[in-house]
Amino acid sequence: MSKVLVPLARGFEEIEAVSIIDVLRRGGVDVIIAALSDNMLVQGANGITIQADVEVKDITADELDMVVLPGGWDGTHALADDANVQNLLREMDVKGKNIGAICAAPYALDKAGVLKEKYTCYPSVENEIQTKGYQGDKAMVVEDKNVMTSRGPATALCFGLSIVKKLQGQETYETLRNGLLATYCE
C-alpha cells in the first residue's frame, strides 16, 4: 500500500488538505497527517482544526512514497521555514520519490530547492517563487519529473485524483473519479 505524508501547519487551507486526504484514502492510500510540533491539533486558515497522527520530525523518506503539501499562506510559510519539512523534501527528491504541492505550497518546494521547471500554483504566488517555468492555468495539475503541483482549492479534488492515478494506477483512478462524479478531472 502506498504511503503519503501530508504535513499540516497552522493556517493550512482546509479544502485542500481535507480533499487530498479524503481522496487518497478512498483510493486505498495510507495517509499520515503530520504536525510541525507536539501540538497534534492543527488549526487551518478558516478555523477548522485537524488532529495530526505524528510529528514531521518522526518521519523519514524511506517510510514514504510521497509527501503532499496543502496551501494556505500562513501554513505554507511555516512549512517553508520548518527545518524538518525542508530536509524531508530534499531527502525525498534525492531519492527520486514523489512530492506534491498545491496553491501557495509550491513556494515551500522552491525554498527546499526541489521545485522543477514546470509548475503551477495559486495565481500571484509565482511572484514569490524563484524557479522559472510557471504554467499558469494551462492545466489543473502540472507534473514535472517527481513533482506534481496544482492551483488551489477548486483543483484539490483533481489533484488528489492525479496522485491516486500515479500511486494506485489507472483502474483505481477511473473507479474513484467516476464515483466522485469528477469526470471533469483529467
94 pLDDT above the threshold of 90: yes
Give the pLDDT score at 147.
98
* Residue 57 within any structural domain of the chain: yes
Catalytic residues: 103
Q: Give the C-alpha separation, 69 to 111, whole Å.
A: 13
Model pTM score: 0.97
* Residue 46 within any structural domain of the chain: yes
* Residue 26 within any structural domain of the chain: yes
How many domains does the structure of the chain reveal? 1
Give the pLDDT score at 71.
97
In percent, how much of the chain has pLDDT > 90?
98
Give the pLDDT score at 186.
77
Residue-wise pLDDT tens digits, 26-48: 999 999 999 999 999 999 999 99
- Cα 3 to the chain's mean position, in Å? 13
Q: How far apart are the first and last CA of the chain?
A: 24
* Residue 184 within any structural domain of the chain: no
Average pLDDT over residues 49-75: 98
Are the CB atoms for 5 and 34 separated by under 8 Å? Answer: yes
How does residue 141 score in pLDDT terms, banded at 50, 70 and 90? very high
* Residue 39 within any structural domain of the chain: yes
Supply 132's cell numbers. Answer: 522559472
* Residue 16 within any structural domain of the chain: yes
* Residue 77 within any structural domain of the chain: yes
Number of Cβ within a 10 Å radius of residue 113: 12
What amino acid occupies position 36? L
* Residue 91 within any structural domain of the chain: yes
Domain of residue 78: give its range.
3-179
CATH of the domain at 36: 3.40.50.880
Give the pLDDT score at 16.
98
Give the pLDDT score at 89.
98
